[in-house]
Amino acid sequence: MMKVEVTIISKETIKPSSLTLHHLKPYKLTLLDQVTPATYVPTVFFYPMTNLNLDMSQIIAQLKTSLSDTLNIFYPFSGNIKDNLFIHEFDTGVPFLEARVNCSMSEFLKHLETDSLSLFVPYHAFCKETNTTIGQMAVQLSLFDCGGIAIGLSCSHKVADASTASIFLHSWAATFTRSPEKVTHPNFSEGSIMFPPRDSLPQKYIATMESLWFKEGDYVTRRFVFHEKAIATLRSKAKSELVPKPTRTEVLTCFIWKHCMAASKAKSVGPKNKSMTILVQAVNLRTRMKPHLSDASTGNIFWWAPAAADLAMEEKELHELVGLVNESIEGFDSDSAESLQGDEGFLAFSDFFNQLEDMFSAEPKPDVCAVTCWLRFFNDIDFGWGKPFWVGIMGKVGPAFRNLIIFSETPWGDGIEAWVTLEEKEMTILENDPEFLTCASLNPSI
């Protein structure tokens, strides 16, 4: 296949259509937002548009109009951050790029190179951003030769987790199809009430979180697909008296973690070889609060559940790792979530930061791997042309990042895609690990 080229042909700024935004109060960040680095998370939705007699110029115009109307409701996405405390200037707008692709969608997906997904989003993925004036979100519409389109979203993690990005995209699609009953009206106050921002946040806490997110290295991302049969086999192996019914993501998390530990151990030689690995899992706090927070609560309403292990645990059985990870998650119960609330919750956060700082300062430096699950968030975004044929969620990451696993659905719905980011030498070991590849398929055609 020829080299994929995506050429930007136009760029404009989409602003909220309502003038009443000038009278809105600034949108408060939560404490969780404050400690989350400004980095753009990429998501690309592929719509073949086959057998549809559609006017593309009309579709483009309607996408822009519906985005403008959606920003009336989700106005913080159209503003600028001030002093890591709040968002204002809601008429700043969202960049909207149009681009053309020099191939058909079927060709691109058949010969998929995951790094090329970066061509379909406006901003580089998962880079440490220092310029807070470039906005919270940007959109790129890419037109394939065949008539299919890709809608790429770059969303700042400073203002949105996967849940918030999902309700925005569903609401944009509902606005496009003129289905107001499907629009989610976001709750902008619940998060900052539960997790109030700090006027003065210790710099060492921000530095600790940046250490969790970013570390210099030669990182690469690979897409591994786990089919239903392989997942069932792993779940059967992972059962134990402690965890009789492990979830799909628990099992895959531990299976990948086990083999990442083996890769790290194989790479590390010499007197300072690594001995410790830390797995941090993103936990949605909305469903762990009492009472539950609304799914419409915006911002970063999640926190990290850490599990630490010696690298020698790569020799442990899968069910033993599942028990460790399950204990980490189950320990994050409603009492733990409640302890993070309000002004007193800052003390609990401080304890967490201090624990992380102790872990990160250990010698030799431990491996850190983050895990997040995007199942059921993005695969049904329907602008009236049907659900996306496929959703790509990574691309080429920046020079400073972190070991990361993101889970998403396969296009056919019964499997799971694992987007794994590791340092290049470790990835080379992982993608040539025969035991790992008995369950994982490396970047199959779509």
**Which are the catalytic amino acids?**
157, 382
Do 253 and 283 form a contact (C-beta atoms < 8 A)?
Answer: no
Considering only CA atoms, give the Rg of the chain.
Answer: 22
Token pair for 340? 């993070």
Residue 127: what are its φ and ψ, rounded to 5°?
A: -100, 150
The separation between the first and the last C-alpha atoms of the chain, rounded to the nearest angstrom, is 15
